[in-house]
Amino acid sequence: MTDPAPEPPAEVAKSRAVGLMSRELQLRIGSGVAVATVALAVLYWGPGPFAFLLGAIAAAMSWEWGRIVRGTENDVITGFHIGTAVLAAGLSAFGMAGLAVAAVAVGAITASALATGSGRAGLTGAGVAYTGLPVIALEWLRSDDSLGFLAVLFVLIAVVATDTAAYFTGRGIGGPKLWPVVSPNKTWSGLAGGVTAAALAGALFPLISGSGSSLWLAFLGLLLGAVAQAGDLAESALKRHFGRKDASDLIPGHGGFMDRMDGVVTASVAAALIALAVEAYAPARALLYGA
């Protein structure tokens, strides 16, 4: 019996690459589902547990910021950065969002002062705001007893819809690159597909949840989708500037928390500012109904 001819080296390499991609995709999906399940369960549980989760995530992101910007994992500034983020979460959990914002502002100024002479004082201070303000924004929205859960859920859905649709639309349609120097894979078609998906998610959200205005949330979804993509690009620009591919390897298959939370960071702050402008004493209702 004649032995079968061996596969050409190119075919072997291609087969191995496909197998590797399949395993990486399975890992990515598995860890993503696990993280999403925990986040949704804690979000539903209540403002207190949610603040604890936000503080933990912000602490991880603070640590990652130090790795990227200053190339260190355990300096005094990183400890101070983590402490400020946790303090912001704690103050927000007790209904002191204004004091939490003041703490983040003082923390950012102090961190910048501590980094004076390193050439990275500005970015060090910006990192404190980057990790602290989203914690305050999300906890402030969640603390609204009647609609807090749905308001935060909408923000997260808008970001996920944007990221998912941007990925598949960009790969499926392709076309001109959005900002190739910063993110070589992002396209204008991906951006269009992402914000369209977020707008559609916003329009459907009231039909599924029973709360909110479809027309308002469609517009808000479009806006938050664009803001989330801007956050994604900003984080990519930061990593590329410092020669980093991922913020860390804390989430298997995804990189770090900064890699997954970049869109949530900007979208949550934007959502909180919109709610503040509409009705500061009922932020969740203001976000969902626009009035």
Q: How many domains does the chain have?
A: 2
At residue 159, does pLDDT exceed 80?
Answer: yes
Q: Determine what percent of the chain is predicted with pLDDT higher than 70.
A: 90
243 pLDDT tier (thresholds 50, 70, 90) = very high
Same domain? For 184 and 210 the reply is yes
Q: Which domain holds residue 68?
A: 44-143
Quick one: pLDDT at residue 10? 57
Quick one: CA dihedral 65, 67, 73, 74, positive or negative? Answer: negative
Domain membership flag for residue 283: yes
Q: How many CB atoms lie within 10 A of CB 164?
A: 14
Residues 187 and 64 in one domain: no
Range with lowest mean pLDDT among 81-85, 101-105, 149-153, 255-259: 255-259
What b/e readout covers 272-281, taking b as 16+ CB neighbours within 10 angstroms?
bebbeebeee
15 within a domain of the structure (yes/no): no
Task: Tell me which residue of 109, 137, 134 sits closest to 283, measured CA to CA.
Answer: 137
String of b and e for 22-58 (b: at least 16 CB within 10 Å)? eeeeeeeeeebeebeeebeebbeeebeebbbbbbebb
End residue of a domain, out of 143, 160, 193: 143
Q: Report whether pLDDT(278) > 90.
A: yes
Query: Please, what is the average pLDDT of the chain?
Result: 90
Res 171: pLDDT: 87
CA distances from 233 to 17, 67, 108, 186 (A): 28, 19, 22, 9
Q: Look up tokens 């991880």; give the residue.
A: 60
φ and ψ at 8, to 5 degrees? Answer: -60, 145
Distance of CA 17 to the CA centre of its chain: 29
Q: Which of 26-35, 95-104, 164-173 has the lowest mean pLDDT?
A: 26-35
Beta carbons of 212 and 154 less than 8 angstroms apart: yes
Structure confidence by residue, pLDDT tens digits, 201-222: 999 999 999 999 999 999 999 9
Asked if residue 286 and residue 151 are part of one domain, the reply reads yes
Q: Which of 81, 111, 143 is the last residue before a domain boundary?
A: 143
Last residue of a domain, one of 123, 143, 163: 143
Instruction: Say which residue, 68 or 33, is predicted with more confidence.
Output: 68
Please provide the DSSP assignment of 124-145 as one string: HHHHHHHHHHHHHHHHHHHT-T
* Residue 218 and residue 289 share a domain: yes
Looking at the structure, tell me whether residues 62 and 203 fall in a common domain. Answer: no
Q: What is the pLDDT of residue 17?
A: 47
- Predicted confidence at residue 250, as pLDDT, reads 86
Q: Are strands 177-179 and 183-187 parallel, antiparallel or unpaired?
A: antiparallel
**Which pLDDT belongs to residue 259?**
92
Residue 65 and residue 262 in contact, taking contact as beta carbons nearer than 8 Å = no
